Amino acid sequence: MEGRSPLELQLRGYRLATAEIMYWLPDHPSILQTFVWQHYDLAPKFPELQKFLAFWNTHIEGKLFIDHISPLKRKLMKGKLNDISKGKINVDYKMMFPG
């Protein structure tokens, strides 16, 4: 997907997807912070969002809380995040696992 124009992505079925990420950092547990992610992605599996969440889950200390998504999307993402936490994913970068 890298290096492709928005028009080319749209012609391939990608649509602009937005996710509002809410998280707490360990050193500021009383402050809820937000991050808005916006990228071209493919529904219904949202592979670009899943890659972003996988990166966040393994490299950022802020604990994620998933909200404002349909039960189906939540189920799809929860399964994928569980697989990631068990090391059942192939990525191009080094991953750190809890434990």
Reported pTM: 0.59
Question: What is the token pair recorded at 18?
Answer: 């937005």
Above 90 in pLDDT, residue 39? yes
Of 93 and 28, the one with more pLDDT: 28
Rounded to an integer, the average pLDDT of 15-42 is: 86
Strands of the 15-25 sheet, one edge to the other = 28-41, 15-25, 63-65
47-99 pLDDT, tens digit each: 999 898 888 888 887 777 666 677 777 777 777 777 777 777 776 767 666 55
